[in-house]
Chains A and B, each alone.
Chain A
Amino acid sequence: MDFDRGLQDCLPRLRRFAHGLSRNAADADDLTQMTAERALLARDQWVTGTRLDSWLFRIMRNLWIDTARSRARKAAFEAPPEAGESIGWDPRPGVEAAIDLRIAMAAMARLPDDQREVVALILVEGFGYRETAELLDLPIGTVSSRLVRGRTALLAMLGE
Protein backbone atom coordinates (compact mmCIF):
# COMPACT_ATOMS: atom_id res chain seq x y z
CA MET A 1 0.00 0.00 0.00
CA ASP A 2 1.15 3.49 -0.72
CA PHE A 3 2.37 5.07 2.50
CA ASP A 4 1.40 8.67 1.80
CA ARG A 5 -2.06 7.71 0.67
CA GLY A 6 -2.50 5.46 3.69
CA LEU A 7 -1.36 8.17 6.07
CA GLN A 8 -3.65 10.70 4.54
CA ASP A 9 -6.60 8.31 4.66
CA CYS A 10 -5.93 7.59 8.30
CA LEU A 11 -5.65 11.23 9.39
CA PRO A 12 -9.34 11.71 10.21
CA ARG A 13 -9.29 8.67 12.50
CA LEU A 14 -6.00 9.75 14.05
CA ARG A 15 -7.45 13.14 14.70
CA ARG A 16 -10.48 11.60 16.35
CA PHE A 17 -8.24 9.42 18.54
CA ALA A 18 -6.22 12.52 19.45
CA HIS A 19 -9.43 14.21 20.55
CA GLY A 20 -10.24 11.19 22.69
CA LEU A 21 -6.88 11.43 24.43
CA SER A 22 -6.45 15.19 24.73
CA ARG A 23 -7.91 17.76 27.09
CA ASN A 24 -8.80 20.20 24.33
CA ALA A 25 -8.98 20.52 20.56
CA ALA A 26 -5.77 22.54 20.28
CA ASP A 27 -3.77 19.83 22.06
CA ALA A 28 -5.46 17.20 19.90
CA ASP A 29 -4.47 18.91 16.67
CA ASP A 30 -0.91 19.42 17.93
CA LEU A 31 -0.79 15.72 18.68
CA THR A 32 -2.13 14.87 15.23
CA GLN A 33 0.42 17.14 13.59
CA MET A 34 3.25 15.63 15.63
CA THR A 35 2.10 12.13 14.76
CA ALA A 36 2.03 12.88 11.03
CA GLU A 37 5.52 14.39 11.22
CA ARG A 38 6.88 11.50 13.27
CA ALA A 39 5.30 8.95 10.94
CA LEU A 40 6.90 10.57 7.90
CA LEU A 41 10.28 10.60 9.59
CA ALA A 42 9.93 6.97 10.59
CA ARG A 43 8.26 5.72 7.43
CA ASP A 44 11.09 3.30 6.68
CA GLN A 45 10.27 1.48 9.90
CA TRP A 46 6.79 0.59 8.75
CA VAL A 47 6.76 -2.93 7.33
CA THR A 48 4.86 -3.10 4.07
CA GLY A 49 2.01 -5.56 4.35
CA THR A 50 1.38 -4.88 8.02
CA ARG A 51 -1.44 -2.66 9.19
CA LEU A 52 -0.54 0.96 8.73
CA ASP A 53 -3.39 2.22 10.93
CA SER A 54 -2.24 0.24 13.97
CA TRP A 55 1.31 1.49 13.40
CA LEU A 56 0.11 5.10 13.22
CA PHE A 57 -2.14 4.78 16.26
CA ARG A 58 0.76 3.36 18.20
CA ILE A 59 2.96 6.33 17.25
CA MET A 60 0.26 8.72 18.41
CA ARG A 61 -0.29 6.87 21.65
CA ASN A 62 3.44 6.83 22.43
CA LEU A 63 3.80 10.55 21.67
CA TRP A 64 0.88 11.16 23.98
CA ILE A 65 2.53 9.12 26.75
CA ASP A 66 5.78 11.03 26.18
CA THR A 67 4.06 14.32 26.81
CA ALA A 68 2.23 13.08 29.92
CA ARG A 69 4.55 14.81 32.33
CA SER A 70 4.27 18.26 30.77
CA ARG A 71 0.54 17.68 30.44
CA ALA A 72 0.21 17.01 34.16
CA ARG A 73 2.23 20.12 34.92
CA LYS A 74 0.00 22.20 32.71
CA ALA A 75 -3.16 20.68 34.17
CA ALA A 76 -2.05 21.72 37.66
CA PHE A 77 -2.40 25.35 36.57
CA GLU A 78 -5.69 24.95 34.82
CA ALA A 79 -9.15 24.58 36.21
CA PRO A 80 -10.30 20.96 36.19
CA PRO A 81 -12.58 20.14 33.28
CA GLU A 82 -16.19 20.68 34.29
CA ALA A 83 -17.63 17.55 32.85
CA GLY A 84 -20.21 15.93 35.09
CA GLU A 85 -21.85 19.14 36.24
CA SER A 86 -23.03 20.36 32.89
CA ILE A 87 -23.59 17.05 31.19
CA GLY A 88 -27.01 16.17 29.95
CA TRP A 89 -29.10 15.93 26.86
CA ASP A 90 -32.60 16.37 25.73
CA PRO A 91 -34.69 14.10 27.94
CA ARG A 92 -37.71 14.03 25.64
CA PRO A 93 -38.49 10.47 24.57
CA GLY A 94 -37.40 9.60 21.08
CA VAL A 95 -34.94 12.45 20.88
CA GLU A 96 -31.50 10.95 20.66
CA ALA A 97 -29.73 14.24 21.23
CA ALA A 98 -26.06 13.99 20.46
CA ILE A 99 -23.69 15.01 23.19
CA ASP A 100 -21.39 17.80 22.35
CA LEU A 101 -17.78 17.05 21.51
CA ARG A 102 -16.59 19.32 24.28
CA ILE A 103 -18.60 17.44 26.85
CA ALA A 104 -17.42 14.07 25.57
CA MET A 105 -13.79 15.26 25.71
CA ALA A 106 -14.24 16.61 29.22
CA ALA A 107 -15.66 13.28 30.37
CA MET A 108 -12.81 11.37 28.71
CA ALA A 109 -10.30 13.72 30.30
CA ARG A 110 -11.53 12.72 33.74
CA LEU A 111 -10.64 9.08 33.18
CA PRO A 112 -7.19 7.91 34.24
CA ASP A 113 -4.83 7.77 31.24
CA ASP A 114 -4.71 3.97 31.17
CA GLN A 115 -8.50 3.70 30.99
CA ARG A 116 -8.88 6.59 28.57
CA GLU A 117 -6.66 5.07 25.88
CA VAL A 118 -8.49 1.75 26.06
CA VAL A 119 -11.91 3.42 25.92
CA ALA A 120 -10.85 5.61 22.99
CA LEU A 121 -9.45 2.70 21.00
CA ILE A 122 -12.29 0.22 21.60
CA LEU A 123 -15.46 2.22 22.19
CA VAL A 124 -14.71 5.15 19.88
CA GLU A 125 -12.28 3.83 17.28
CA GLY A 126 -13.76 0.35 17.11
CA PHE A 127 -10.57 -1.65 17.54
CA GLY A 128 -11.01 -5.19 18.87
CA TYR A 129 -9.69 -6.28 22.26
CA ARG A 130 -6.89 -8.27 20.66
CA GLU A 131 -5.81 -5.44 18.36
CA THR A 132 -5.88 -3.03 21.26
CA ALA A 133 -3.80 -5.34 23.44
CA GLU A 134 -1.20 -5.61 20.69
CA LEU A 135 -1.21 -1.89 20.04
CA LEU A 136 -0.67 -1.10 23.71
CA ASP A 137 1.63 -4.05 24.48
CA LEU A 138 -0.69 -5.22 27.23
CA PRO A 139 -2.23 -8.58 28.14
CA ILE A 140 -5.77 -8.85 26.84
CA GLY A 141 -7.10 -9.33 30.39
CA THR A 142 -5.63 -5.98 31.43
CA VAL A 143 -7.29 -4.32 28.46
CA SER A 144 -10.69 -5.78 29.26
CA SER A 145 -10.56 -4.87 32.96
CA ARG A 146 -9.50 -1.29 32.19
CA LEU A 147 -12.32 -1.10 29.71
CA VAL A 148 -14.83 -2.20 32.36
CA ARG A 149 -13.68 0.51 34.75
CA GLY A 150 -13.46 3.20 32.09
CA ARG A 151 -16.88 2.64 30.55
CA THR A 152 -18.53 2.30 33.96
CA ALA A 153 -17.10 5.68 35.00
CA LEU A 154 -18.17 7.18 31.67
CA LEU A 155 -21.70 5.92 32.06
CA ALA A 156 -21.87 7.56 35.48
CA MET A 157 -20.63 10.84 33.97
CA LEU A 158 -22.61 10.83 30.76
CA GLY A 159 -25.75 9.59 32.45
CA GLU A 160 -28.61 7.65 31.08
Chain B
Amino acid sequence: MMMTDEQYFAWLDGELDPATAAEVAAAVAADPELQRKAAAHHAMQARLRGAFEVVATAPTTDNVVDLESARSVRAARRVLPSMGQWAAIAATLVVGLVTGTMIPSGSDTTVRTNSGRLIASGGLDRALDTRLASAPLEAGARIGLTFRDKDGAICRSFSDGAAQGLACRDNEAWAIRGLVQGADSGRGDFRMAAGADPGLAALIDSQIDGEPFGAEAERKALDGGWR
Protein backbone atom coordinates (compact mmCIF):
# COMPACT_ATOMS: atom_id res chain seq x y z
CA MET B 1 0.00 0.00 0.00
CA MET B 2 1.02 3.65 -0.38
CA MET B 3 1.39 4.87 3.15
CA THR B 4 1.73 8.45 4.36
CA ASP B 5 3.67 9.40 7.47
CA GLU B 6 0.35 10.39 9.04
CA GLN B 7 -1.04 6.90 8.49
CA TYR B 8 2.10 5.24 9.74
CA PHE B 9 2.08 7.20 13.01
CA ALA B 10 -1.68 6.87 13.41
CA TRP B 11 -1.11 3.13 13.23
CA LEU B 12 1.66 3.43 15.80
CA ASP B 13 -0.73 5.34 18.08
CA GLY B 14 -3.57 2.86 17.61
CA GLU B 15 -5.71 5.46 15.86
CA LEU B 16 -6.53 3.59 12.65
CA ASP B 17 -9.67 1.62 11.93
CA PRO B 18 -9.05 -2.14 12.01
CA ALA B 19 -8.98 -2.62 8.25
CA THR B 20 -6.43 0.13 7.57
CA ALA B 21 -4.45 -0.87 10.63
CA ALA B 22 -4.12 -4.40 9.24
CA GLU B 23 -2.82 -3.04 5.94
CA VAL B 24 -0.25 -0.85 7.63
CA ALA B 25 0.79 -3.67 9.95
CA ALA B 26 1.41 -5.90 6.92
CA ALA B 27 3.49 -3.20 5.24
CA VAL B 28 5.55 -2.66 8.39
CA ALA B 29 6.06 -6.40 8.84
CA ALA B 30 7.66 -6.48 5.41
CA ASP B 31 9.97 -3.53 6.02
CA PRO B 32 12.78 -3.68 8.62
CA GLU B 33 13.32 0.07 8.32
CA LEU B 34 9.73 0.81 9.35
CA GLN B 35 10.08 -1.66 12.22
CA ARG B 36 13.21 0.06 13.43
CA LYS B 37 11.48 3.43 13.17
CA ALA B 38 8.50 2.17 15.18
CA ALA B 39 10.80 0.90 17.93
CA ALA B 40 12.73 4.18 18.04
CA HIS B 41 9.54 6.23 18.34
CA HIS B 42 8.09 3.95 20.99
CA ALA B 43 11.28 4.25 23.02
CA MET B 44 11.37 8.03 22.60
CA GLN B 45 7.77 8.38 23.71
CA ALA B 46 8.36 6.13 26.72
CA ARG B 47 11.33 8.25 27.77
CA LEU B 48 9.41 11.47 27.24
CA ARG B 49 6.52 10.22 29.35
CA GLY B 50 8.93 8.98 31.97
CA ALA B 51 10.55 12.39 32.22
CA PHE B 52 7.23 14.19 32.69
CA GLU B 53 5.77 11.53 34.97
CA VAL B 54 7.72 12.95 37.89
CA VAL B 55 5.50 16.03 37.70
CA ALA B 56 2.24 14.12 37.80
CA THR B 57 3.31 11.83 40.61
CA ALA B 58 4.70 14.58 42.83
CA PRO B 59 2.64 15.17 45.95
CA THR B 60 -0.31 17.32 45.10
CA THR B 61 -2.72 19.57 46.89
CA ASP B 62 -4.17 16.62 48.75
CA ASN B 63 -1.07 16.57 50.88
CA VAL B 64 -1.87 19.96 52.28
CA VAL B 65 -5.15 18.83 53.73
CA ASP B 66 -4.73 15.07 53.91
CA LEU B 67 -2.92 13.99 57.04
CA GLU B 68 -1.93 10.56 55.83
CA SER B 69 -0.35 11.62 52.58
CA ALA B 70 1.28 14.62 54.24
CA ARG B 71 3.05 12.15 56.45
CA SER B 72 4.21 10.17 53.46
CA VAL B 73 5.48 13.39 51.86
CA ARG B 74 7.56 14.05 54.91
CA ALA B 75 8.82 10.49 54.89
CA ALA B 76 9.62 10.73 51.20
CA ARG B 77 11.54 13.94 51.73
CA ARG B 78 14.03 12.16 53.89
CA VAL B 79 14.83 9.92 50.97
CA LEU B 80 14.66 12.47 48.20
CA PRO B 81 15.71 16.00 49.14
CA SER B 82 13.96 17.63 46.20
CA MET B 83 10.60 16.43 47.45
CA GLY B 84 10.54 19.43 49.75
CA GLN B 85 10.44 21.67 46.73
CA TRP B 86 7.53 19.73 45.36
CA ALA B 87 5.68 19.97 48.63
CA ALA B 88 6.22 23.72 48.60
CA ILE B 89 4.96 24.05 45.06
CA ALA B 90 2.03 21.81 45.81
CA ALA B 91 1.16 23.86 48.85
CA THR B 92 1.01 27.06 46.84
CA LEU B 93 -1.28 25.35 44.38
CA VAL B 94 -3.96 24.85 46.95
CA VAL B 95 -4.27 28.58 47.41
CA GLY B 96 -6.38 28.95 44.31
CA LEU B 97 -8.76 26.34 45.60
CA VAL B 98 -8.85 27.72 49.09
CA THR B 99 -9.56 31.28 48.09
CA GLY B 100 -12.22 30.17 45.72
CA THR B 101 -14.02 27.88 48.05
CA MET B 102 -12.95 27.85 51.62
CA ILE B 103 -12.59 31.30 53.10
CA PRO B 104 -15.89 32.25 54.67
CA SER B 105 -17.04 35.68 53.63
CA GLY B 106 -16.78 38.12 56.46
CA SER B 107 -13.70 36.41 57.80
CA ASP B 108 -11.03 38.77 58.95
CA THR B 109 -8.51 36.77 56.97
CA THR B 110 -8.50 38.68 53.77
CA VAL B 111 -6.54 37.84 50.69
CA ARG B 112 -6.53 39.64 47.39
CA THR B 113 -4.82 39.00 44.09
CA ASN B 114 -2.35 41.40 42.58
CA SER B 115 -0.91 40.65 39.13
CA GLY B 116 -1.64 37.01 39.64
CA ARG B 117 -0.09 36.91 43.11
CA LEU B 118 -2.02 36.38 46.30
CA ILE B 119 -1.41 39.13 48.82
CA ALA B 120 -2.57 39.55 52.41
CA SER B 121 -4.85 42.53 52.85
CA GLY B 122 -7.15 44.03 55.46
CA GLY B 123 -7.00 42.52 58.91
CA LEU B 124 -4.56 39.80 57.92
CA ASP B 125 -2.12 42.32 56.45
CA ARG B 126 -2.33 44.42 59.64
CA ALA B 127 -1.79 41.43 61.87
CA LEU B 128 1.26 40.30 59.89
CA ASP B 129 2.65 43.84 59.99
CA THR B 130 2.09 44.64 63.62
CA ARG B 131 1.50 41.56 65.76
CA LEU B 132 4.05 39.64 67.71
CA ALA B 133 3.62 35.97 68.44
CA SER B 134 3.44 36.91 72.09
CA ALA B 135 0.47 39.27 71.56
CA PRO B 136 -2.51 38.58 73.81
CA LEU B 137 -5.31 36.64 72.20
CA GLU B 138 -7.83 38.85 70.51
CA ALA B 139 -9.92 38.90 67.39
CA GLY B 140 -8.23 38.43 64.05
CA ALA B 141 -5.21 36.53 62.91
CA ARG B 142 -2.65 35.18 65.35
CA ILE B 143 0.98 34.82 64.46
CA GLY B 144 2.86 31.56 64.84
CA LEU B 145 6.45 31.41 63.64
CA THR B 146 8.58 34.14 62.13
CA PHE B 147 11.68 33.20 60.15
CA ARG B 148 13.80 33.99 57.13
CA ASP B 149 13.43 31.85 54.05
CA LYS B 150 16.29 30.64 51.90
CA ASP B 151 16.15 33.82 49.82
CA GLY B 152 16.39 35.96 52.93
CA ALA B 153 12.77 37.15 52.96
CA ILE B 154 10.95 37.24 56.29
CA CYS B 155 8.04 34.81 56.53
CA ARG B 156 5.35 34.46 59.18
CA SER B 157 2.83 31.73 59.74
CA PHE B 158 -0.62 32.76 60.84
CA SER B 159 -4.03 31.46 61.80
CA ASP B 160 -7.38 33.01 62.37
CA GLY B 161 -9.40 29.91 62.98
CA ALA B 162 -10.86 29.84 59.47
CA ALA B 163 -7.51 29.43 57.77
CA GLN B 164 -3.88 28.82 58.52
CA GLY B 165 -1.12 29.86 56.23
CA LEU B 166 2.29 31.18 55.52
CA ALA B 167 3.06 34.66 54.17
CA CYS B 168 6.42 36.05 53.14
CA ARG B 169 7.60 39.60 52.63
CA ASP B 170 7.72 40.46 48.95
CA ASN B 171 7.80 43.98 47.52
CA GLU B 172 6.40 45.66 50.62
CA ALA B 173 3.53 43.20 50.80
CA TRP B 174 2.85 39.85 52.42
CA ALA B 175 2.70 37.30 49.63
CA ILE B 176 0.76 34.16 50.53
CA ARG B 177 2.94 31.09 50.10
CA GLY B 178 0.38 28.62 51.31
CA LEU B 179 -3.04 28.49 52.87
CA VAL B 180 -4.95 25.62 54.38
CA GLN B 181 -8.29 25.38 56.01
CA GLY B 182 -7.93 26.16 59.70
CA ALA B 183 -8.42 23.36 62.14
CA ASP B 184 -7.79 25.11 65.39
CA SER B 185 -10.97 27.12 65.86
CA GLY B 186 -11.96 27.19 69.49
CA ARG B 187 -8.55 26.19 70.71
CA GLY B 188 -6.76 28.84 72.68
CA ASP B 189 -3.15 27.94 72.28
CA PHE B 190 -1.76 28.60 68.86
CA ARG B 191 1.82 29.24 69.87
CA MET B 192 2.92 25.87 68.60
CA ALA B 193 0.22 25.68 66.01
CA ALA B 194 2.42 26.84 63.19
CA GLY B 195 2.82 23.12 62.79
CA ALA B 196 -0.74 22.15 63.60
CA ASP B 197 -1.42 21.26 60.00
CA PRO B 198 1.10 18.77 58.64
CA GLY B 199 0.97 20.29 55.16
CA LEU B 200 1.73 23.73 56.52
CA ALA B 201 4.49 22.33 58.70
CA ALA B 202 6.03 20.67 55.66
CA LEU B 203 5.79 23.94 53.76
CA ILE B 204 7.55 25.84 56.56
CA ASP B 205 10.12 23.08 56.73
CA SER B 206 10.91 23.46 53.08
CA GLN B 207 11.20 27.25 53.19
CA ILE B 208 12.93 28.00 56.47
CA ASP B 209 16.61 28.88 56.58
CA GLY B 210 17.96 27.94 59.99
CA GLU B 211 15.81 28.44 63.06
CA PRO B 212 12.70 30.53 63.65
CA PHE B 213 13.11 33.93 65.29
CA GLY B 214 13.04 34.25 69.04
CA ALA B 215 11.01 37.00 70.69
CA GLU B 216 13.81 39.54 70.48
CA ALA B 217 14.62 38.88 66.81
CA GLU B 218 10.92 39.08 66.03
CA ARG B 219 10.64 42.46 67.72
CA LYS B 220 13.69 43.74 65.85
CA ALA B 221 12.29 42.54 62.55
CA LEU B 222 9.03 44.36 63.24
CA ASP B 223 10.88 47.55 64.10
CA GLY B 224 12.93 47.16 60.95
CA GLY B 225 9.87 46.94 58.72
CA TRP B 226 10.31 43.19 58.04
CA ARG B 227 13.27 43.74 55.71
Contacts and interface: CB of A to CB of B under 8 A. Distances in A.
Contacts of A123: 45, 48-49
A154 B45 CA distance: 9
A34 B113 CA distance: 11
Interface in B20-63: 40-41, 43-58, 60-62
Contacts of B53: 16
A36 B62 CA distance: 14
Interface string A3-32: 010011001110110011000010011101
A145 B92 CA distance: 38
B100 A40 contact: yes
A152 B6 CA distance: 12
A151 B9 contact: yes
A54 B113 CA distance: 26
Nearest to B36: A160
A12 B97 contact: no
A98 interface: yes
B222 interface: no
A92 to B, nearest CB: 15
A101 B52 contact: yes
A100 interface: yes
Contacts of B56: 12-13, 15-16
Contacts of A152: 5
Quick one: which of A12, A28, A36, A98 has the most chain B CB within 10 A? A12
Interface in B95-141: 95-97, 99-101, 113, 116
Interface residues on A, range: 35 or more
A29 B97 CA distance: 14
A2 B132 CA distance: 41
Contacts of A25: 89
A99 interface: yes
Given A101-B54, A155-B44, A129 B100 contact: no
25 contacts: A8-B97, A11-B61, A12-B55, A12-B56, A12-B58, A15-B58, A29-B93, A33-B92, A33-B96, A33-B116, A37-B99, A96-B47, A98-B50, A99-B47, A99-B50, A101-B51, A101-B55, A124-B48, A124-B52, A141-B6, A144-B9, A148-B6, A148-B9, A158-B44, A160-B40
Interface of A: 4, 7-8, 11-13, 15-16, 19-20, 25, 28-30, 32-34, 36-37, 40-41, 89, 96, 98-101, 103-104, 122-124, 128-129, 141, 144-145, 147-148, 151-152, 154-155, 158, 160
8 tightest Cβ-Cβ pairs between the two chains A and B: A104-B51, A40-B100, A36-B96, A16-B56, A12-B56, A16-B55, A98-B50, A37-B96
